[in-house]
Structure 1
């Protein structure tokens, strides 16, 4: 009796399952999942440069090469820990601004040095849209300035090693905003190397030219030399004040400087288009 009962139960369960899936259409239904997209609505607050900012942010978060700008933020923020805890550097005040430039300007340096080569794969198409160069460059500038401010705020805990370090970082941030942001944008007008966005960033020098090496001098060395000389001849406070003053001058002259840089990009527009069309 038991075997027949088991057989009957199996038959019943099988019949019930077949009946439930009797209609062919039900087996052809596909599961739908809600697509997840990065919310960039906040960029609309920046007006007509928002589309360019969104393009850059998508580039940074999606392409292998540009993602290096993100993980380099962590490296830049922790850079000071290689020096400040070491007693050897405790009295090396001339070195504080150099570290501050690097810590607060890590994104500016890493991302900015390849402007506009990040867009090299579609630069010709981008330029054919009759876009305003001023807006295009302003979006890059805005992202870099935002990064400097964020990195300075995140570096405030370095005050643990002394108030002079915090002051040096603040001066470096102002200098990055007023001077280095413009320097690196101007340097970008000389970029002629195409970047392969699908390649990994680690130990990858593809797309790197003489511009990337030369630009490091005014970005890092010049402010350090100015600060070191003033710190040695006068005082730490005066040296800090001069670095801040230079940055403020750059901020005050921002519109005029950007007009000059924009004119430079417009003058070299077709040279860049031609260069980015080449495989290098």
Structure 2
């Protein structure tokens, strides 16, 4: 976010003495946040996030208060503290994963500051220090502090319990700075989620197969700090070490011209002549395919197709779900529509970087939207063909996938295109795809209702009152109706895009 001219003038005057106090950084952050277009346009989303945060706070408080009596009643012969310590490894592992996918790393607009007489080390210290005030760092305290109070009430040594809570908090901060390193490694790979999968999956596998019992190691380490408070120095030293590692990495990258260094890459051209079979939508399909292949975020989304295609393996081999055939339609919608979901929810934001130029050309908007529809429809057909081997688990699964594929082509493609007319968030194509919420607004959350919940409700009701086959038939008929009335639906959707054309141009011209 660009720091305003007035703030820069104020900074120049205040840094003549070459001293920059923390309060000045906080003042800049405050003005940057509340003056941004993101805050002004996403007030409802921010209010929702506040309520979500309050929900987790209350939940963790209730957990912390009720945990001791529940454990004491359920396991009367065991020490509740020992039981909690035995599960800390899984707690910390889950914390690492949740932070990677959901924690937004602290950033600030440092470029304007780099032209001023401010020490780079002071800027880096502020950025790293800011991460210590993350909601993820304080959330566990709402559970562990009440649990510690319950321990003290029930006769546990006060000093030992206090150091036990401090140890948990220090380890939480260790995970915070460890996440910095994992994030930096993930940004250097095409599969941005690969480092966290290898790290977390590797630790879990080693512990599960009892090669190294991390459960016992973590439990014994925390118990040792509880018994010998001086051992708290060990996790503190680890925390300091990780802080220094991150400090060194960030300081090396904190240069004004660091973002100007271009990487030399070999350009790979691909033959897209086959797209000419799609008529006047072919040029736009070629642009979309090139955009997907040449940019990091959409290219990473393609790799998620593998995960979506294998999604059925979480359900179909499980005997429990064999008695829940109404779930087959839900899995079928997801498996055959994973590309439709990932790509379609950001139409036309994928083109936000050059949307103004695109709209200034002498092209028909309907051709532009037709290429998006064709690309999504073709992906559904391909994914359905690739999912045919699921017939190994039963013919009903293949029938449900076919009905879901037809429904995706006839209904959900149009739902995605219609939802795109409400998109107002710009997308950076060079960011990672996995759990990246940049460019995500209320539209992406609300569209899940007609996209997933509606077909599941229709199929579930048909299955409950009639039969499985009738449920598949209803989904298929709805899909066929959407295909038959495709031209009329596209005309209505095109009109909606034309009405929103200039609003989108204005929104995409701003930095969110």
Above 0.5 in TM-score?
A: yes
- State which drifts further: 252-261 or 60-69: 60-69
Q: Are 1:253 and 2:460 counterparts? A: no
| Of 326, 330, 353, the match for 1:121 | 353
- Secondary structure class of the residue paired with 2:297: coil
State the shift of 1:68 in Å. 2.6
Whole-Å separation in 2 of the counterparts to 1:113 and 1:175: 17
Runs (5+) with no aligned partner, structure 1: 1-33
1:171 matched to which residue of 2?
403
State the shift of 1:44 in Å. 1.6
Alignment of 1:1-280 (within 5 A): 36-280=268-512
**In 1, are the aligned partners of 2:391 and 2:398 still within 8 Å (CA)?**
yes
Whole-Å separation in 1 of the counterparts to 2:385 and 2:375: 16
State the shift of 1:35 in Å. 6.5
Q: Which has the higher contact order (CA 8 A, sep 6+)?
A: 1
Whole-Å separation in 2 of the counterparts to 1:69 and 1:218: 22
Aligned length: 247
> Residue 35 and residue 110 in structure 1: after superposition, are their counterparts in 2 closer, same or farther (change >3 A)?
closer
Whole-Å separation in 1 of the counterparts to 2:418 and 2:493: 6
Runs of 4+ in 1 over 2 A off after TM superposition: none
**In 1, are the aligned partners of 2:345 and 2:419 still within 8 Å (CA)?**
yes
User: Which whole-Å deviations, capped at 9, do the CAs of 1:160-203 have from their partners, x for residues lacking one?
Assistant: 00000000000000000000000000000000000001111123
Whole-Å separation in 2 of the counterparts to 1:121 and 1:202: 20
User: Which whole-Å deviations, capped at 9, do the CAs of 1:187-235 have from their partners, x for residues lacking one?
Assistant: 0000000000111112311000000010111111110011111101111
Runs (5+) with no aligned partner, structure 2: 1-265
> Residue 59 and residue 161 in structure 1: after superposition, are their counterparts in 2 closer, same or farther (change >3 A)?
same
1:11 matched to which residue of 2?
none
Alignment TM-score, normalising by the size of structure 2 = 0.48
**In 1, are the aligned partners of 2:301 and 2:433 still within 8 Å (CA)?**
no
1:13 matched to which residue of 2?
none
- Secondary structure class of the residue paired with 2:317: coil
Whole-Å separation in 2 of the counterparts to 1:204 and 1:157: 31
Give the alignment's Cα RMSD to 1 decimal.
1.1
Whole-Å separation in 2 of the counterparts to 1:201 and 1:252: 34
Whole-Å separation in 2 of the counterparts to 1:160 and 1:204: 35
Alignment TM-score, normalising by the size of structure 1 = 0.87
User: Which whole-Å deviations, capped at 9, do the CAs of 1:101-135 have from their partners, x for residues lacking one?
Assistant: 00000000100000000000000000000210000
User: Which whole-Å deviations, capped at 9, do the CAs of 1:61-105 have from their partners, x for residues lacking one?
Assistant: 111111133111111110000110001101111110000000000
Whole-Å separation in 1 of the counterparts to 2:277 and 2:269: 19
2:134 matched to which residue of 1?
none
